[in-house]
Structure 1
């Protein structure tokens, strides 16, 4: 079996209560399930455990979909561990894994992760062709001697919280809604790379971020953001787009730190998106653009001052 060596290497110290999924973004719906996983695991003296995948199954099963993730595997693992999950296991998702039947997959997990029970959401499915429905999972539970508990969906304002809903809100630039659905600000992380320094010429030196191409981004526009770098945080204004005033081009993520003085090149930074200010615009002159940036900065200061209260 292709995944057996990986599962053997995980070797949990005790029996586990497990949940299985991508957990992209580790959003409010995920945390609702994970809180119940931890409570039930404590009641049964089991380890709370999460089995997640890298790369995301969608990218292997449907590579043409070009799905962008809300969080890469490193951020997912960090977030899950930060919630106090006892065991976070990452399994390589390959075409060979995709061909496993639900019975084969659950048998291996039952054996090597010492799984005594599984807790999942109502739309859960796994195995070849997503054959492993909740109904089949209960059947396998009886055969392989593990419990199955289904957690109802988590809703906010009548909408079921999901990674798909978050991607939709993100594409629309509705970072306030994304914040509600995720329970925290959406963020991206990247390394500052060299640029044409047009921002510096305008009096607003920006950090041009090298973002992984699979990373989901808010829709093009200007945003009030919080930037974290070297253990400190700074108010910032971030532009996502093609810079139409200067002829357009490839999509860029550029951040202006309001209270930072120093060289940023080569540094890694995290940008948290608070609120969208406006659409990306094409200005008739650099001076007109500079006046708009000055206005944007004042608006960012006002927005972030309210956030800090």
Structure 2
């Protein structure tokens, strides 16, 4: 898959394109992208996804949603769906102020060379989000492209959305979030030196450096899986502020079961499976150790270890 990161970089061969923010690339987003890949193969055209490396709301007055995935994770997920070309550009002032028809004509039809456009039912684009699926329908005959609109996708009668996934994660409902994502929620981070408190307690942990924008999870303790050199290890992960030690920084630290090795400087993926408990301030280290032992035992039983 070719990745294009600038509007000035490309002029493509005839293509089928998916347009959208694809925040989290959840199962509804995947339906759109999979349709693009399938249609492009049927028509003998390139499959293209046009999206952003950041969230468009970063340039608005409203609060920017916490990121569900990093740009690198977004690239990796879309690549696995079989896309030929991913255009992932920053949503900047140029994008913010581009008139909807200019975006359609200059970017989508000229640069991307789209012959077939596929979008979700609620897709919006252009300055002040004035562009919508109705506009795409109106210009279809004039500019000669095919248009396909993907209907709302529901699971158990509930509309799938990135907002709902965030709500699940913020309330600790990881399994529900995973169902809507179509995969396990994954935090990727670089292993850094912490205060080594876990080692002193008998449970050496790896501390992950991540962007605070990724702090979507409810603070607490989770059953997780940690991937090391493509091997999956059951793990117990604490997310939050470690109230027993009066820490003020947001931390993600993982105790990897049955693993002993130096991981400093490595980039790891931690996949979240199940919420165990909320963060607790313990009156003594012995009480904390006893609770950690219980968390680890629950995790061992869950994984059948």
TM-score normalised to the size of structure 2? 0.94
Equivalent residue number for residue 231 of structure 1: 230
The structure 2 residue matched to 1:107, chosen from 102, 105, 110, is: 105
Q: Secondary structure at the match of 1:10?
A: coil
Which residues of 2 match residues 202-213 of structure 1 at below 5 A? 202-213=201-212
Would the aligned equivalents of 1:220 and 1:280 in 2 still touch at CA under 8 Å?
A: yes
**Who is 2:34 aligned against?**
35
Q: Aligned partners of 2:11, 2:177: CA distance in 1, in Å?
A: 36
Q: How does 1:149-228 map to 2 (within 5 A)?
A: 149-228=148-227
Match of 1:142 in 2: 141
Aligned to 2:122: 123
Which one is further off, 53-62 or 204-213?
Answer: 53-62
The structure 1 segments of at least 4 consecutive aligned residues displaced by more than 6 Å after TM superposition are: none
Structure 1, unmatched stretches of 5+, are none
Name the residue aligned to 2:66. Answer: 68
Cα distance, 1:252 vs structure 2: 0.8
Work out whether residues 220 and 279 of structure 1, in 8 Å CA contact, stay in contact via their aligned partners in 2: yes
Deviations 1:67-121 (A, max 9, x none): 2111111111111111101211112221122111110001112001111121111
Separation in 2, partners of 1:142, 1:97: 25
The corresponding residue for 1:85 is: 83
- Give deviations 1:204-249, integer Å, cap 9, x for gaps: 0111111112214310110000001233221100001111111242
- How far did 1:34 drift? 1.8
Please report how far the alpha carbon of residue 292 of structure 1 lies from its aligned counterpart in structure 2 after TM superposition.
Answer: 0.7
Question: Distance between the aligned counterparts of 2:65 and 2:274, measured in 1?
Answer: 24
Number of matched pairs: 300
- 3-state SS, counterpart of residue 110 of structure 1: helix
CA contact (8 A) 2:11 2:110 kept: no
Q: 1: distance between equivalents of 2:112 and 2:215? A: 32
For residues 293 and 8 of structure 1, the distance between their equivalents in structure 2, rounded to whole angstroms, comes to 53
Q: Look up the match of 1:20.
A: 19
| Superposed displacement of residue 35, structure 1 | 2.0
The alpha-carbon distance between structure 1 residues 146 and 239, as it changes in their structure 2 partners (threshold 3 A), is same
Secondary structure of the 2:204 match is coil
Q: Does 1:11 align with 2:45?
A: no
Aligned to 2:278: 279
CA distance in 2: counterparts of 1:8 and 1:244, whole angstroms: 49
